Amino acid sequence: MAGGQHRSEHHLAEPAPNDQEFAYLLRVAATAPDHGNLRPWRLTLVRDEGRAALERCFADECAEAELRHGEPGESAQRAPLLATLVFSPQRNDTGRGTPVPEWEQLAAASAMASSLVLLLHARGFGSIWRTGRFTESERIRNVLGLHQEERLLGWLYIGTPQRLTPSKRRVTEDVTDRISVFAP
């Protein structure tokens, strides 16, 4: 992990973390900020035959989309493990203060996912975050067993990086224009 930087890996192969290692990394990632400790997310791991079934759903969606839009498809075979991130907003009926708004719960799910990516990278695994039109597919929602109130946020494709060329160090950008100081 050069200089603490993470980069998306486009070529991923075996091995990926096994279920036990993934569960450990998720326990650590779940310590990310989460007001109310609601854990408004869940993950569905897709491996082996599951990837083949998801690939068929992707292909069906692509066939329909190509007829409509001429768009290329996505492959569930690009990595040995796909961690499907599902946003599951929780009602905060504990009576301890005001409910946690949905936007804040979405931020908590995003913080957990970001932490998970960094943990995977630190362990030598590679990943790439994939979203797109499949997150809105009713067919895919049904196959993955999403509930009506849940949102499919995307997939974290995970495996061991297979770099075709040496990776270049990212140049950090000047972002000081994004900082202001409040002075009453």
Residue 112 domain boundaries: 2-163
CB 53 within 8 A of CB 82: no
Distance, in Å, from the CA atom of 132 to the CA atom of 74, rounded to the nearest integer, reads 9
170 lies in a domain? no
Domain count, the chain: 1
129 lies in a domain? yes
180 lies in a domain? no
* Collapsed DSSP state (helix, strand, coil) of residue 44: strand
37 lies in a domain? yes
pTM of the model: 0.83
Q: What is the CATH number of the domain that holds 138?
A: 3.40.109.10
Rg (C-alpha) for the chain, rounded Å, is: 18
176 lies in a domain? no
Distance, in Å, from the CA atom of 106 to the CA atom of 88, rounded to the nearest integer, reads 9
Structure confidence at residue 67 as a pLDDT band (50, 70, 90): very low
Q: Residue 69: CB partners within 8 Å, gap ≥ 6?
A: none
Whether pLDDT at 73 is above 60: no
Side-chain-side CA neighbours of residue 171 (13 Å): 2
What the block records as the tokens of 74 is 């996505």
Distance, in Å, from the CA atom of 119 to the CA atom of 171, rounded to the nearest integer, reads 22
133 lies in a domain? yes
The residue type of 41 is W
How many other CB atoms sit within 10 Å of the CB of residue 67? 8
Whether pLDDT at 68 is above 50: no
pLDDT for 72 equals 46
71 lies in a domain? yes
70 lies in a domain? yes
Whether pLDDT at 159 is above 80: yes
Write the pLDDT tens digit of every residue in 76-125: 888 999 999 999 998 866 566 668 999 999 999 999 999 999 999 999 99
Structure confidence at residue 177 as a pLDDT band (50, 70, 90): very high
Distance, in Å, from the CA atom of 69 to the CA atom of 89, rounded to the nearest integer, reads 32
